[in-house]
Amino acid sequence: MVEHNAEEFNDWCVSCGDFGILRSVELLIDEMKLDYRNLVMVSGIGCSGKGPHFVRHKISGVHTLHGRALAFAAGIKLSNPSLNVLVEAGDGDTFGIGAGHFVNAGRRNIDMTLIVHDNGVYGLTKGQASPTLHRGEKTKSLPKPNINDPINPIALALSVGYTFVARAFAYDVNGTKDLIKRAMQHKGMALVDILQPCPSYNDINTNEWYRKRVYNLDMDPVVKNIDEVPQKMGAAIARSFEWEEKIPIGVFYQNELVPTFEERLKENIPDYLENYPAIQKIEVNGDSTTVYDKLLKARKVA
């Protein structure tokens, strides 16, 4: 694990929405009094992947592989469930190559947070259409209009088990900060999909385009009784498809009645939360105590 020092040169393009997300994260680190001892940021590949490097606080972080940030993050969280784990990834990263990890993180309901820099393009590689660009849109870097239908991140997250699902707008810094903070305080797997203008390659979904359309959701997203799930989830999915004229931002759905993966593990390993892998001794009197070595010894390999 790398301990970051905040002296990195920031090479994001001028006016990129990424700066709004970076500022939101820095504000919530201050508000939640987080640092390298209790916060780990995990990123994938893309412009978004540089986010943890640019945070001016001293935090812990891992810059991982394309699409694999959630898999790394799951390992970190399950080794040490006392940590706050914040995953920062792009839309191509998450819904393209990382789609399988995205789906399975939901059904496990691991207690961590994913924020997605959602700009409709692969910005780092010069603006190819990403899985969230709408069909028929021709950004300035595409030779012809996009022929694929988009993934709806909100509806997908809801259908695979995410228990906190929200959408933010990158230039609304305080609103984005509040949503990420709520996501991190939520018990379970949380998604904040952040509408992030990419002024270099997406000349359709610009800052001005979003500002004319975004509005705050006006519904109660919190499930208080398990019987409310079909109605609240149905309403959230329906609202998530509003796009051309009006685009809602805010919390679409929150359900803390679903057990987390850590709680499910505890049913099989009763002392898991007190004696998690990261604090277990790996050696006693020269003998390894890891499960892996015990298995090898049992098979007489080691």
Contact positions vs Mg ion (CB under 5 A): 90-92, 119, 130
Is the Cβ of residue 189 or residue 195 nearer to ligand SF4 in the bound state? Answer: 195
Tell me the Ramachandran region of residue 129: left when phi exceeds 0, alpha when psi lies from -120 to 50, beta otherwise.
beta
Given Mg ion, ligand SF4, none, residue 61, with its beta carbon under 5 to 8 Å by kind, binds: none
Q: Which stretch of DSSP H or E encloses residue 43?
A: strand 39-43
What six digits make up the tokens of 34?
């987080």
3-state DSSP assignment of residue 193: strand
Q: Sketch the per residue contact string, 43 through 62, with ligand SF4: x for CB under 6 A, - otherwise.
A: ----x---------------
What six digits make up the tokens of 261?
């993966």
Indicate which single residue of 201, 253, 261, 276 sits in contact with ligand SF4 (rule: CB under 6 A).
201
Nearest distance in Å: CB 71, ligand SF4: 23
Nearest distance in Å: CB 168, Mg ion: 15
The 10 Å CB-count burial string (b at 16+, else e) for 286-302 is eeeeeeeeeeeeeeeee
Indicate which single residue of 43, 64, 109, 119 sits in contact with ligand SF4 (rule: CB under 6 A).
119
Residue 123 binds ligand SF4 (CB under 6 A)? yes
Segment interacting with ligand SF4 (CB under 6 A) among 24-32, 195-203, 246-254, 265-273: 195-203
Residue 200 binds ligand SF4 (CB under 6 A)? yes
What is d(CA 116, CA 119) in angstroms, rounded to the nearest whole number? Answer: 9
What six digits make up the tokens of 281?
């001794």
Tell which residue, 84, 244, 248, has the closest CA to residue 175. Answer: 248
Is the Cβ of residue 61 or residue 92 nearer to ligand SF4 in the bound state? Answer: 92
Is the Cβ of residue 34 or residue 129 nearer to ligand SF4 in the bound state? Answer: 129
Phi and psi at 12, nearest 5°, equal -65, 150
Given Mg ion, ligand SF4, none, residue 200, with its beta carbon under 5 to 8 Å by kind, binds: ligand SF4
CB atoms inside a 10 Å sphere around CB 25: 26
Is the Cβ of residue 90 or residue 98 nearer to Mg ion in the bound state? Answer: 90
- Looking at the DSSP assignment, which residues form a beta bridge with residue 116? 89, 193
Given Mg ion, ligand SF4, none, residue 91, with its beta carbon under 5 to 8 Å by kind, binds: Mg ion
Tell which residue, 232, 209, 221, 213, has the closest CA to residue 179. Answer: 221
Contact positions with ligand SF4 (CB under 6 A) in 6-45? 12-13, 16, 18
Contact residues: ligand SF4, CB under 6 A: 12-13, 16, 18, 47, 119, 123, 198-201
